[in-house]
Structure 1
Amino acid sequence: MSTDLTALFFTVNPCDPLATDAQGRLDFWNNNRALLSTHGLDLYELSLVGSGTNFIDCWPSQYPMAGGTYPFAHCEDISQHAEWGLLEPFSTTTRGGVIFANDRGNRPVALKLVENNSCEHIILKLIMDVQDCDGYIPGIVPVLNLIPIAGHWIVVMPRWECGPSEGWFFSVRELLFCFEQLLCGLVFLHSRRIVHRDLHSRNCLANFFPTSPNNIEYSDAANPLQKLQASHTLRYGWIDFGYSIPLPPQTDLETCRLHRRESFFGAWEVPSDTLTGKSTYNPFAFDVGTLGLYFCSISQHLTPQIPLLAPFLDMMITRKVHSRFTADAALEFLRFIQSSLTKEELMRPCELPPYTEYSAERYDRWQGLPRDFVEEWGHMREPELPLWLRCVRWVLERYDAVADLVVICRRGLDRIRDKSRILLYNNILSSTAF
């Protein structure tokens, strides 16, 4: 059965990576309802979305309990909505890799199958061990249980939803608190030498579970999401360690290098560290840059309201990788921003983003800021992307043969440079020998 599960859940068809055996996955979960029940889990109802599809409909036979005590989500009250159309309350569509249930307390949880001794399993076990000793980890969605099954494990986590996006936050305080939580999660991972490699909006969740995402009207000040933010009861955290890599504990955060191919995973908006043919990259700095780009998508339009976001964001995504914030440094600067704002400034609503979207590299986060502020913090400003670099990227992104040639040339130059350094070092030693 282990081989079947590996093929069913973890083998990717290179010709069609999105193709999955939805019927096989549905059968697996349905066949293990009794096992899950012995662990206090009531699996949701499951059905295929039409014939020949890769998707499974998933909905609860009993609505989850409203409210919620951490680590469980605050569930929207079912009585607040009467018309559902074609959708069942609290229903969702999934490919079957992640499925949902209620626990004995009628609280929603998420279930995912992971391979034994895989990187993901090792990381989830580490999180559980830390939780047992020190409590829940800020910025990481908690792990409730690991259930063994046929050489694999079913990980049980509280079901959180609603990843933050632009125009989402009730106040400046809540925006910065979300950033603080997500940075705390990244600091934890990097302190354990774990590279996430998939830091994007779908893997960032809040402990709120609406009857349907379409029921949340963000412009309505009375919506339940804003009420939870106003009471400062929302928490934020990272999930999904399927692409993550646990490195040896002695790994140095600054000098660590992986092959460039290891950067081509997960998040679709990533820093440009390997775009010009570098054969290796720093995965920890890459994580920070990826998170910085996500922060830019949410908040870069707010720099006139929160000027210190300009140097903060620039230092998270700077092309000078050796100067880029570490996760620790970014968290320290973020807390400096929080402490520099008055209570009134923190409670102001976040301005809505403009309709025109700009990439983080093209957007001028310093435009319109006071001259004295720019003079004080300008040393942290990211220069405009030069035309020559744009041209180089354009060529490399469109012509694979040229890109491969550049990688080979850069690798050769790196080896020559390394040999030159060794030779110079040996000459210095010989000249200083007694």
Structure 2
Amino acid sequence: MPRLYEDTVRNLCTMTLSISSDMGPFWDGYRDPLASVGITLNELPSYAWVLPAVTPPASLPYATRCSHEQPPSDIIFLMPRLTCGRDAQQQDVVLKLIDKGTMEDQIYRTLSGFVELYDTHAFPCILPPIAIIESPYEFSFVAMPMWGSQYKLVELQTVRQILTFMRCALTGLREYLRSASVSYALYDFDCAVQLPPDTSLKDCRRPPLESTIGKPDYHPGDTWQGELDYNPFAFDVACLGNLFVYHFAEVITAVPLLAPLFAKMTTSRIDERFSAAEALEFLREVEQDLMPDLLDSGVALKVDYDPVDHPDLYWSRLSPELQRQWNSHRPPPLSWANRLLRRLCTTTPGYKTVMFIRRCLRAIFTM
């Protein structure tokens, strides 16, 4: 059985690899061992995995493959650390490489111990691992049901659809637990952190390095000034707010009060930032005042990072009267101190110096 190109899966993710020439031989080396435990890998003729033409019906936690997820060539594009295949019941599964001993590994092993995750009558909307398959090296394979494909937000066409998406993204999952109108599942925990159930949303603090995990496109600057810790819940709200700004800034022309919502979700003054519940309440109040004709009107979305980096670009879409009315929500300019700290922290020596000074100050003021 082949080793990885790197010592860890984490290091593997930093490499530029060819799915066919680099990872193809690796996965081929595990075809027989995986088949011996009931998992048959799909074919990899070139740069994408081939999906079987049909999937037999099955109950949760498996999902029906939707018709729009069947491209003419029946292929699926996956990252190098992922592959797809079929289990002994011929259901679509995805296999993922994970490092042993990591938080992700711990989460999967915790989930595998909850038998209710595998009960089709009590499915709690978390995709469980079908199996954790050990290797002789420092990584394992996690097999999970194939659930669906990426949905592109540019496919949203009306104000109603966009606001519905925003509301669903902000709504706590508990509201959907007994609803038959939607099927959903949490999956893929490589960026997840396992916290105690009584963790405070306001006072929780985590190491700043965790804020660098994952795709950085929507990350706020909460740890760009050499902070010693950060609030992951406030950070997540800002990430979601930046996603809204990136995709939906054009909608402000039709729904002006989205501008103050975006501003309070992404403000650099973290103690003034909306919580997810506050953002949801604000959005619902905005929706209540909108006429049906407006909700059903079409919107041509235009993705743009500029409003994320320069909030005045979307704020300027408000009329002067609304700008005055909602001035308390206006995105504040970055202070000169934070601008200086960000500049210092762009270099390794500067970042280490700022962190050292912050640690000293914290030690002095907490004595």
2:201 maps to 253
Question: With structure 1 as the length reference, what TM-score do the two structures score?
Answer: 0.66
Which of residues 43, 46, 50 in structure 2 aligns to 1:45? 43
Distance 1:97 1:333 in 2: 40
Task: State the Cα RMSD in Å.
Answer: 3.9
Please list the CA deviations of residues 166-202 of structure 1 after superposition, one character each: whole Å capped at 9, or x if unmatched. Answer: x331222222222233334xx459xxxxxxxxxxxxx
Letter in 2 for 1:338: E
Question: Gaps (5+ residues) in structure 1?
Answer: 50-55, 190-232, 420-434
Please list the CA deviations of residues 141-185 of structure 1 after superposition, one character each: whole Å capped at 9, or x if unmatched. Answer: x516522433856332333223334x331222222222233334x
**Does 2:130 correspond to 1:146?**
yes
1:195 maps to none
**Does 2:352 correspond to 1:361?**
no
Q: Tell me if structure 1 keeps the 8 A contact 2:205–2:231.
A: yes
Distance 1:309 1:250 in 2: 32
Letter in 2 for 1:45: E
Q: 1:237, CA displacement in angstroms?
A: 6.8
Partner secondary structure for residue 36 of structure 1 = coil
Partner secondary structure for residue 94 of structure 1 = coil
Which of residues 118, 121, 127 in structure 1 aligns to 2:108? 121
Distance 2:334 2:284 in 1: 29
**Does 2:364 correspond to 1:416?**
yes
Question: With structure 2 as the length reference, what TM-score do the two structures score?
Answer: 0.76
Q: Tell me if structure 2 keeps the 8 A contact 1:318–1:382.
A: yes
Which of residues 277, 291, 294 in structure 1 aligns to 2:226? 277
**Does 2:68 correspond to 1:76?**
yes
Q: Tell me if structure 1 keeps the 8 A contact 2:17–2:80.
A: no
**Does 2:104 correspond to 1:112?**
no
Question: Gaps (5+ residues) in structure 2?
Answer: 175-180
Letter in 1 for 2:81: G
2:48 maps to 57
Q: 1:318, CA displacement in angstroms?
A: 0.9
Partner secondary structure for residue 94 of structure 2 = strand
Q: Give the 3 Å change call, closer, same or farther, for CA 136–15 of structure 1 in structure 2.
A: closer
Letter in 1 for 2:26: G
2:249 maps to 300
Deviates more, 1:406-415 or 1:362-371: 362-371
Letter in 2 for 1:297: Y
Distance 2:233 2:289 in 1: 28
1:164 maps to 152
Q: Give the 3 Å change call, closer, same or farther, for CA 14–357 of structure 1 in structure 2.
A: closer
Partner secondary structure for residue 84 of structure 2 = strand
Distance 1:92 1:298 in 2: 25
Partner secondary structure for residue 291 of structure 1 = helix
2:177 maps to none
Distance 2:116 2:281 in 1: 26
**Does 2:100 correspond to 1:98?**
no
Partner secondary structure for residue 238 of structure 2 = helix
Which of residues 156, 161, 178 in structure 2 aligns to 1:174? 161
1:430 maps to none
How many residue pairs get matched? Answer: 345
Letter in 1 for 2:74: F
Distance 1:9 1:92 in 2: 27
Which of residues 280, 285, 290 in structure 1 aligns to 2:239? 290
Q: 1:97, CA displacement in angstroms?
A: 2.5
Q: 1:73, CA displacement in angstroms?
A: 4.0
Q: Give the 3 Å change call, closer, same or farther, for CA 32–14 of structure 1 in structure 2.
A: closer
Q: 1:275, CA displacement in angstroms?
A: 0.8
Which of residues 332, 336, 354 in structure 1 aligns to 2:281? 332
